[in-house]
Structure 1
């Protein structure tokens, strides 16, 4: 599928509030999220024009790795919030 916008909140709707919370409070999450968005934009740019497929494959693998890391952070924070250690982020 070409030119699909991969927004984290669409891919993980159950974490929408948590994504907003971490976007404003967690430096590592912010860094990874920025890398995720930058990679996504590069992929979309490649898909708009005819380019060799190899750079796109590399970027798509990187996007999946970033998404996995962001998901692990979200799952960890969900556990912390469920335990009542952080309020307002569930």
Structure 2
């Protein structure tokens, strides 16, 4: 019996955007500054962008600041361990 060819799952626009944003946030410069500047790319859906920003905004110790140019700044603090 032949095995069915496994087709790789194509990531959703939300997943692609999430991976891009995660890469920005995890960059050494952003981690050092505890700050990241994000912009939605023209081909990224506004609904996915809004969902990601909402989810980021619900994260403890993270501040989301909307800029006049459409960008978003993220600021975070790392709580000290007891």
Q: TM-score, normalised by structure 2?
A: 0.29
More helix by share: 1
| Larger gyration radius, structure 1 or structure 2 | 2
Higher RCO (Cα < 8 Å, 6 or more apart): 1
